[in-house]
Amino acid sequence: MVSIVALAAAGAPVFAQQGEVTFGVQVRGGASYLSLNHDASMYTPLPGPGMASYGNPTSILSYEPLYTMDVEFVVASRNADGWFELVAGFPIAGGGTFGDRDYEAGQTLYSETFSDLAIGGFGDASLRFSLPGEDWQVGGLDVQPYAVIGAGLASYAARGLRCGAACPSGPMPNTRTVIGQDVLSASAGIGALLEREVSEHGTLDFRVEVAGGYMGVSDSHYFRPDLGPVPNIAYDFATLGVFTELGYAHAVSETAKIRVGVFAEGQLGFGRVVFNSAGGGSGPAIPAWSHALSGGVVLGASVAF
């Protein structure tokens, strides 16, 4: 995501020089879009008020966009045998817009509402470490292959309702939380890192990562009594994502550096969603898919020991 989501494991520079351990802190800010979709068009709604049929997609829940700012703590080390870096990030600010759209057959818009987004706590962590063997030679450049694993847990709340093109439920004030979501993510993959000195004190670094993983969304629709107690909707996705980051690090002393960078990420997810029932139990698993895009900037500083 949204690292929705989240979007979650974020790249960090390899600050450490040969034989050093480096401690750093950085602030990462950006915007992301995450869409959760499902298709229940093969089913017929129960008789009564509400939708007469289900479209494909039946529902789209989207963060459009989600703005976040995280603080990240970095520990890195490098020696003759390789390197590693451990990053732990925690949200410090955020917000945005949450959209909820429901469709009948023929993609007739049944409901469209928008809410204010608020972020909760939790965070994410990632570990990167060099792979054994020789570096890759690409176009005369020395490229370092590495592995990456990460996990994260994020909490979001959609507050209030503003009506869009169709709004059978009517508006609600933003003092009321209408939907809450906890997003759990885990991934593992490989990456490639290129570092190049551009001056006596400056180094450019570029990395690209491809990772597969899992994203689970625990959803609470607080004003859907037909779905029973919250959390009442569960999404499960297998994910595939690509992450890139370009940075410039500048040495301000023999042991201290500052760095600025830009990053971009995309992710696709395919899986299922299950809705609970007020009568007990849950309904059938329904096909679901997700897609996410994010990008932003990072600013940090580090000290080597």
- The pLDDT tens digits for 86-115 are 999 999 999 999 999 999 999 999 999 999
Instruction: Give the confidence band of 267 by pLDDT, cuts at 50, 70, 90.
Output: very high
Q: Which residue has the higher pLDDT, 9 or 65?
A: 65
Instruction: Give the confidence band of 3 by pLDDT, cuts at 50, 70, 90.
Output: very low
Q: What angle do CA 71, 75, 78 make, to 5 degrees?
A: 145
What residue has token string 């962590």? Answer: 125
pLDDT at 6: 41
Specify the number of domains making up the chain. 1
pLDDT at 128: 98
Residue 3 lies in a domain: no
CA distance 248 to 253: 16
The per-residue pLDDT for range 222-253, each reduced to its tens digit, is 999 999 999 999 999 999 999 999 999 999 99
CA distance 145 to 234: 36
Q: Do the strands 82-104 and 172-197 form a parallel or antiparallel pair, or are they unpaired?
A: unpaired
Q: Which residue has the higher pLDDT, 9 or 268?
A: 268
**The token pair that represents 109 in the structure block:** 């818009």
Q: What is the DSSP letter of 227?
A: G
Angstrom CA distances, 239 to 39, 132, 153, stand at 18, 27, 15
pLDDT at 261: 98
Residue 12 lies in a domain: no
pLDDT at 76: 96
**The token pair that represents 133 in the structure block:** 């063997």
pLDDT at 5: 37
Q: What is the mean pLDDT of the chain?
A: 92
Residue 291 lies in a domain: yes
pLDDT at 81: 84
CA distance 232 to 35: 19
Largest CA distance in the chain: 74
Burial label for 284, CB within 10 Å (0-12, 13-18, 19+), is exposed
The per-residue pLDDT for range 18-43, each reduced to its tens digit, is 558 999 999 999 999 999 999 999 99
The pTM score is 0.92
pLDDT at 284: 95
The per-residue pLDDT for range 163-191, each reduced to its tens digit, is 999 999 899 999 999 999 999 999 999 99
CA distance 12 to 300: 9
Residue 212 lies in a domain: yes
Residue 291: is its pLDDT beyond 90? Answer: yes
- Give 35's contacts (C-beta < 8 A, 6+ positions apart): 60, 61, 62, 63, 64, 290, 291, 292
- Mean predicted confidence (pLDDT) in 115-130: 96
Residue 99 lies in a domain: yes
CA distance 90 to 295: 17
CA neighbor of 115 nearest in space, from 54, 167, 182 = 167
pLDDT at 9: 41
Instruction: Give the confidence band of 17 by pLDDT, cuts at 50, 70, 90.
Output: low
- The residue length of the chain stands at 305
Residue 263 lies in a domain: yes
Residue 7: is its pLDDT beyond 60? Answer: no
Residue 5 lies in a domain: no
Angstrom CA distances, 173 to 59, 124, 158, stand at 23, 32, 11
Q: Tell me the CATH number at 300.
A: 2.40.128.90
CA neighbor of 123 nearest in space, from 177, 187, 69, 75 = 69
Q: Domain range spanning residue 174?
A: 20-304
Contact criterion met (CB below 8 Å) for 60 and 33 = no
One-letter amino acid of 204: L
The per-residue pLDDT for range 78-89, each reduced to its tens digit, is 888 899 999 999
Contact criterion met (CB below 8 Å) for 25 and 71 = yes
H/E element, 158: strand 141-163
pLDDT at 8: 38
CA distance 172 to 163: 9
